[in-house]
Amino acid sequence: MSSKPFSVRLPWWLALYFIIWAVLPFILSASYPLDVPEGIYWGREWQWGYYKHPPLSSWVLYSFYNLFGHIGPYILSQCTIALSLWLAYLFGRELMSPARAFLGSLFLLAVFYYTWPSLEFNHNIAQMPVWLGLVYTFYLAIRKNHWRYWLIFGFIAGAGMLVKYTVAVLIFTMLLYSLCTSYRRLWCTPKPWLAMLLALMVFAPNVYWLIQHDWLPLTYASARSAEDASRNGHLAALGYLGTQLINHLPLLLILLCNRTRLSLRTPAQILHQSDWRFLLWMGLMPTLLLVGAGLIFGLGLRDMWGMPMWGLSGLIIVALIPEQVFTLKKCSLLKGIAIWALLVTILMAIYVEFGARIRHKPSRMDWPQQALATQADMQWQTFSSCKLDSVTGSDWIVLLVASYSEFSPSVMVSGDAAYSPWMNAERLHQHGTLAIWPANEQPNLPWLQTLNQQPDMVMKQGEWFIRWTKLPEREPLKVIWQAYIPKKCLK
């Protein structure tokens, strides 16, 4: 294979790959993956925070949903993966030859986190380019010590904290690196301090929101972590580490099938020693810190927290390939990546299209979302001449309806009213709401207890039977509905 196909044709194949991964799930699935409708309804409200996470990821998700329609979340997810590969390549070019950097960035496609989980855009996927962008700009800032790099780094750090709070693990890792190396001298200059100030300014609105809302996301995360810790104990951290290794199996198999020899001596020959230390530190230390905290303090670690932490895996591996081996094997390694990409794409299509029939039960992508939303809209319009302003009930089914309804209603999730601060008694009394839930559930809906007692409100109720499009032989989904309609809107 010539160098020209290596450098020119591959980007076009990559573009085709990402287009397929954006279009196929949209065509084949019956509903959004788990976290997508939740992110859409959060983003629709344009808050500075939500009860689980900071806001930026949801804002971007809703923007893509608003711009591209129902396929928007799938486009965004693949754009995020593509951006991650590009940033890995740009950073790799600072350390090694462009050919090695290119192959190292493509190796990420053989890390499981960068394939199957990318069907579902969530805060973990959103972090992937953030972590790589932080590593890249931090490297430029400490190496070249220019104002622009420090300012860009500070902005990305603040924006990253608005994506997910676990970005703080990487920022702490960088702080440790700067203090444990000769770069500690930079703290005697104003540039890193100004970068820190800029990061705090970008992050400050969310801090204010947290104070105003009793630190809801941190309370939620603490409860989830405590639940995991009580179930798995201190040794759960080892299970987390094992899962991270398993996610690298496709990459390891590609190396093994190509008989690619790795050598610890190679980095010293192709990288500056300090660059190799930097690469290892940023690539491994965040995971080691989390695992150490899990072992010592018994923190419940969730496997998917590792998703953004492995953006440097490909560069680390490619730096271990001896020069002669790299020259001989680079084309066969590319073929291995291509074979894996083709295989995982076929498996993805089979899973999304036929998974429900294979398992004899629906996954989150197999719910009759369009039918639910259409039924909800028709039911509301039967009784009301006003727009459907909000929906409430069982969280999952409500989120599906809200993200496909022609009215784009707000969502009032079950449980604590603080989880939906955009909803209040006055809004409900003025516009009413539609409550829906599966017949086998009974959600906690405290707002509705008082709403039904209002003299200017009429309540209608009934049930639907919705056919499972992916499992036509399955008993239809029985849904209970209650419509609370202001008398001024009653037909």
Residues 163 and 306 in one domain: yes
pLDDT of residue 1: 38
Residues 176 and 203 in one domain: yes
Torsion of CA 186, 187, 192, 194, to 10 degrees: -130
Residues 189 and 137 in one domain: yes
Residues 331 and 399 in one domain: no
Cα 335 from Cα 340, distance rounded (Å): 9
Counts for the chain of helices (H) and strands (E), in that order: 21, 5
Residues 400 and 446 in one domain: yes
176 falls within a domain: yes
C-alpha distances out from residue 254 to 71, 116, 248, 326, 340, Å: 32, 17, 10, 14, 8
pLDDT of residue 298: 82
Cα 210 from Cα 51, distance rounded (Å): 9
362 falls within a domain: no
Residues 168 and 127 in one domain: yes
Residues 41 and 182 in one domain: yes
Instruction: Name the residue range of residue 407's domain.
Output: 367-489
What is the bridge-based pairing of β-strands 390-393 and 410-412?
A: parallel
Q: pLDDT tens-digit profile of 164-210?
A: 999 999 999 999 999 999 999 999 999 999 999 999 999 999 999 99
pLDDT of residue 46: 97
Residue linked to tokens 């893509």: 64
pLDDT of residue 192: 98
Residues 6+ apart with CB under 8 A from 23: 71, 74
The mean pLDDT values, 10 residues at a time, for the chain of 491 residues are 56 94 98 96 97 97 98 98 98 96 97 97 98 99 97 98 97 97 96 98 98 91 68 78 96 96 93 97 97 87 93 98 95 96 97 95 96 98 96 96 97 92 93 96 85 89 96 96 95 87
pLDDT of residue 70: 97
pLDDT of residue 5: 42
Cα 312 from Cα 305, distance rounded (Å): 16
**Is 256 buried (19+), middle (13-18) or exposed (0-12) by CB count in 10 A?**
exposed
Task: Provide the domain count of the chain.
Answer: 2
Residues 336 and 445 in one domain: no
Which strand (E) or helix (H) includes residue 336? Answer: helix 323-359
What is the bridge-based pairing of β-strands 477-486 and 457-466?
A: antiparallel
Residues 388 and 305 in one domain: no
Residues 353 and 375 in one domain: no
Rounded to 10°, the helix 56-68/36-45 angle is 100
Residues 344 and 429 in one domain: no
